[in-house]
């Protein structure tokens, strides 16, 4: 017996969760299910919601002040061009409702410049409130604090990079030992747990709470800086409380600097999104890969409706049937798009992925040049239905969202989260409306 749903979303990242939430919101009585195989990619993300940081092909490489000014000039086939700028705005408003007071940036169309762990700044439209006091547009002097056991964040180097990048403030970096942690392979969640629960740690002067020990370690390095930036490890369940305690006891504004994976801001966003899925009544089936599909008449010819997909649950093949489907499995990095020496392909529905026949044409020799492979992905129509080589929808009831789509270079543009959000919102909304029509 097949498991029956109105909308079935495949993929558990930002695009997939947004699609499932949008489907549930657009059709209140719809049965929506999200199926995901691997751990969500959100925990590897910065937690920043970037719409468009840099214009495609901009040789000047200047960050965009207002991303919406540039949306209308994007080339045909870009995911934003497919859905339209109003859909991007609607998707951001949808995200704002979900994120609540955990995110800032909704007061303006302009990008914020958020410092990252490498000492660069990232243009972004929405950012966790934990980063708000550290914006690079703020001229206040800044002390950056790194930890010996967190080599991914070199605070003195990050400070010098910010100065070289022309940040309008003086930055100074110091490296300390983190109270209670001596191993350099400790997970970021261990740092957060120590501060969340204010665990007792040993210091040179005896035993004390982790928060007080951290304050003591930092305050001797403070000069006149009115703000202090830490790597993003300042708590998880009680992150706001931890940050406020440190700020009060140090007498400065405290902010977090987004880190590489695994990322606590990404984990916090993941938790908020999955809580929203539960509140919306979306069923989540995790740890199961989709291994095949069948069309309504059992034929694999293009243009038919998908009847059901089959998931592998510990060796048992379980059919899942939906009226509408959303594919949000990621791009080359997430294995939603696969490549070998012969071809580039989409592995679940075998949708068309345009690419040169000669694999040597998939890249250029200049490592910093515009790489063709960066834009590999499905070609959608304006309903986000993947198109076959003849420009016809592969399946009537399949839409795609996120980095499984082609036509853009999210790394160069700094548009990954925004595209996932906008296309997930549109694909989920259309699927929900269609399923209950």
* Residue 418's CATH number: 3.50.50.60
Would you say residue 164 lies in a domain? Answer: yes
**Distance between CA atoms of 150 and 292, rounded to whole angstroms?**
42
Residue range 214-233: mean pLDDT, rounded: 96
147 and 241 in a common domain: yes
Question: On the CB side of 359, how many CA atoms lie within 13 Å of its CA?
Answer: 7
386 and 300 in a common domain: yes
381 and 277 in a common domain: yes
Residue identified by tokens 């080589």 is 389
**Distance between CA atoms of 364 and 370, rounded to whole angstroms?**
7
pLDDT of 368: 62
Residue range 2-26, pLDDT digits in tens: 889 999 999 999 999 999 999 999 9
Instruction: Quote the tokens at residue 418.
Output: 């925004």
Close Cβ partners of 139 (under 8 Å, ≥ 6 residues apart): 168, 169
299 and 381 in a common domain: yes
Domain boundary among 257, 278, 310: 257
Residue range 77-103: mean pLDDT, rounded: 97
What b/e readout covers 185-207, taking b as 16+ CB neighbours within 10 angstroms? Answer: ebebeebbbbbbebeebeeeeee
Parallel, antiparallel or unpaired: strands 3-10 and 253-257: unpaired
Q: Is 271 helix (H, G, I), strand (E, B) or coil?
A: helix
Residue range 307-321: mean pLDDT, rounded: 93
Mean pLDDT of the chain: 92
pLDDT of 184: 81
233 and 177 in a common domain: yes
Close Cβ partners of 99 (under 8 Å, ≥ 6 residues apart): 126, 269, 272
Residue range 403-429: mean pLDDT, rounded: 96
Would you say residue 68 lies in a domain? Answer: yes
Domain that residue 187 falls in:
117-257
**Distance between CA atoms of 294 and 292, rounded to whole angstroms?**
7
Predicted confidence (pLDDT) at residue 123 exceeds the cutoff of 80 = yes
- pLDDT band of 58, cuts 50, 70, 90: low
Would you say residue 106 lies in a domain? Answer: no
351 vs 374 pLDDT, higher one: 351
Residue range 225-267, pLDDT digits in tens: 999 999 999 999 999 999 999 999 999 999 999 988 889 999 9
pLDDT of 298: 45
Q: Determine contact, residues 210/195, Cβ cutoff 8 Å.
A: yes
Q: Minimum mean pLDDT among 53-62, 65-74, 142-151: which range?
A: 53-62
pLDDT of 407: 93
pLDDT of 359: 79
pLDDT of 334: 82
296 and 217 in a common domain: no
Mark out the alpha helices in 35-125 (DSSP H runs).
67-71, 79-83, 85-99
Domain boundary among 222, 257, 292: 257
Would you say residue 181 lies in a domain? Answer: yes
DSSP annotation string for 230-266: EES-S-STTHHHHHHHHHHHHTSEEEEE--SSS-HHH
427 closest CA partner among 7, 5, 4, 3: 7
- Enter the DSSP assignment of 420: H
pLDDT of 217: 95
Predicted confidence (pLDDT) at residue 323 exceeds the cutoff of 60 = yes
Q: Minimum mean pLDDT among 143-147, 297-301, 388-392: which range?
A: 297-301
pLDDT of 186: 86
- pLDDT band of 272, cuts 50, 70, 90: very high
- pLDDT band of 297, cuts 50, 70, 90: low
322 closest CA partner among 14, 19, 15, 18: 19
355 and 274 in a common domain: yes
**Distance between CA atoms of 81 and 328, rounded to whole angstroms?**
18
* Residue 213's CATH number: 3.40.50
31 vs 301 pLDDT, higher one: 31
Most confident of 131-140, 197-206, 326-335, 357-366: 131-140
- pLDDT band of 341, cuts 50, 70, 90: confident
pLDDT of 416: 94
Predicted confidence (pLDDT) at residue 388 exceeds the cutoff of 80 = yes
Would you say residue 110 lies in a domain? Answer: no
416 and 272 in a common domain: yes
pLDDT of 133: 97
Residue range 153-202, pLDDT digits in tens: 999 999 999 998 889 999 999 999 999 998 888 889 999 999 999 999 98
- pLDDT band of 59, cuts 50, 70, 90: low
284 and 186 in a common domain: no
């Amino acid at each position: 017996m097949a498991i029956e749903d109105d909308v079935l979303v495949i993929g558990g990242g930002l695009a997939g969760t947004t699609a499932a939430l949008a489907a549930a919101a657009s059709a209140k009585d719809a049965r929506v299910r999200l199926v995901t195989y691997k751990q969500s990619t959100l925990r590897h993300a910065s937690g920043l919601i970037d719409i468009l940081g840099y214009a495609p092909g901009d040789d000047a490489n200047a960050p965009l002040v207002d991303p919406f000014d540039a949306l209308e000039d994007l080339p045909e086939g870009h995911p934003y061009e497919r859905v339209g700028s109003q859909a991007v705005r609607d998707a951001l408003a949808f995200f704002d409702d979900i994120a609540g007071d955990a995110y800032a940036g909704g007061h303006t169309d302009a990008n914020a410049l958020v410092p990252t762990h490498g000492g660069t700044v990232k243009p972004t439209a929405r950012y966790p409130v934990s980063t708000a006091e550290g914006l690079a547009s703020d001229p206040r002097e800044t002390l950056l604090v790194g930890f010996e056991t967190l080599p991914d964040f070199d605070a003195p180097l990050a400070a010098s990079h910010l100065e070289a990048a022309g940040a309008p403030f003086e930055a100074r970096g110091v490296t300390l030992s983190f109270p209670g942690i001596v191993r350099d392979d400790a997970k970021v969640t261990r740092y957060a747990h120590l501060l969340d629960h204010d665990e007792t740690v040993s210091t040179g002067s005896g035993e004390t709470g982790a928060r007080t020990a951290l304050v003591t370690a930092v305050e001797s390095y403070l000069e006149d800086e009115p703000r202090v930036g830490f790597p993003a490890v300042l708590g998880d369940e009680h992150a706001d409380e931890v940050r406020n305690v440190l700020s009060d006891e140090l007498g400065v504004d405290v902010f977090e600097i987004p880190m590489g994976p695994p990322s606590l801001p990404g984990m916090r966003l993941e938790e908020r999104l999955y809580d929203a899925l539960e509140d919306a009544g979306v069923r989540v089936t995790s740890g199961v890969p989709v291994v095949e599909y069948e069309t309504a008449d059992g034929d694999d010819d293009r243009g038919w409706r998908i009847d059901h997909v089959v998931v592998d649950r510990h060796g048992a093949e379980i059919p899942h049937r939906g009226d509408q489907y959303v594919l949000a499995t990621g791009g080359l990095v997430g294995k939603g798009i696969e490549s070998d020496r012969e071809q580039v392909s989409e592995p679940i529905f075998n949708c068309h992925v345009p690419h040169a026949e000669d694999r040597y044409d998939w890249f250029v020799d200049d490592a910093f040049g515009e790489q063709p492979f960066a834009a590999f992905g499905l070609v959608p129509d304006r309903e986000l239905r993947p198109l076959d080589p003849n420009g016809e929808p592969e399946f009537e009831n399949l839409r795609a969202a996120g980095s499984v789509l082609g036509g853009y270079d999210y790394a160069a543009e700094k548009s990954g989260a925004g595209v996932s959000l906008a296309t997930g919102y549109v694909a989920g909304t259309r699927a929900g409306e269609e399923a209950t029509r």
